[in-house]
Amino acid sequence: MIVKNNKVRLKVIPLMGCKKALAHYKTDELVLTPGFNEIPDEVWNELKGNFSNIRNYLKAGHLEEHLAKKTEEKIKVKGKGKKEETEATVGTDFAKLTNDEAVKVIEDTWDVKALKKFAKDEARADIRNLILDKIKMIKKKEGDTE
């Protein structure tokens, strides 16, 4: 799932009680940088079910599920004894984006881990080179010469 943080600041999401998210990230919080972020579909759907803040951010336009498709699956919403459900979504893999969409995502992605994942799965040489150039630019700005 490619998730866009439309705000100019980081969004920090606690992962308490989210088994899939804790196992995937091996930390107790998820940090969404401004712009595009990559999150596994099953982790994203678990977070949507566990945290009303995420559902509220989506409704308010602070977060956006980029090119996501709704599925038939429903996610039970935790909290206050309500029997609410929300729709599960499945994202479009970066490698399946059109060239124009891929360029748009790369230009607004500032998370090096997400860019590295995009590069790993990318077969188009021009798109892959654009990703690698973006990673170098970010590392140079951060003073990382690695």
Distances 48 to 19, 76, 104, 106, 145 between C-alpha atoms, Å = 13, 9, 25, 25, 37
What pLDDT sits at residue 145?
A: 55
Over residues 120-136, the pLDDT tens digits come to 989 999 999 999 999 99
Give residue-wise pLDDT tens across range 48-66. 888 888 989 999 999 999 9
Beta-sheet pairing, 11-14 with 69-76? unpaired
Name residue, tokens 């999401």.
13
CA-CA-CA-CA dihedral for 86, 93, 66, 9, to nearest 10? 100
Strands 2-5, 63-66: pairing is: antiparallel
Q: What is the pLDDT of residue 146?
A: 55
User: Cα(70)–Cα(88) distance, rounded to whole angstroms?
Assistant: 6
Residues 54 and 3: their CA atoms lie apart, in Å, by 11
Provide the pLDDT confidence category of residue 75 given band limits of 50, 70 and 90.
Answer: confident
Residue 127 has what pLDDT? 96
Q: Where are the domains of the chain?
A: 1-92, 93-146
Distance CA 106, CA 93 (A): 13
pTM, to two decimals: 0.82
The residue whose two tokens read 């579909």 is 41
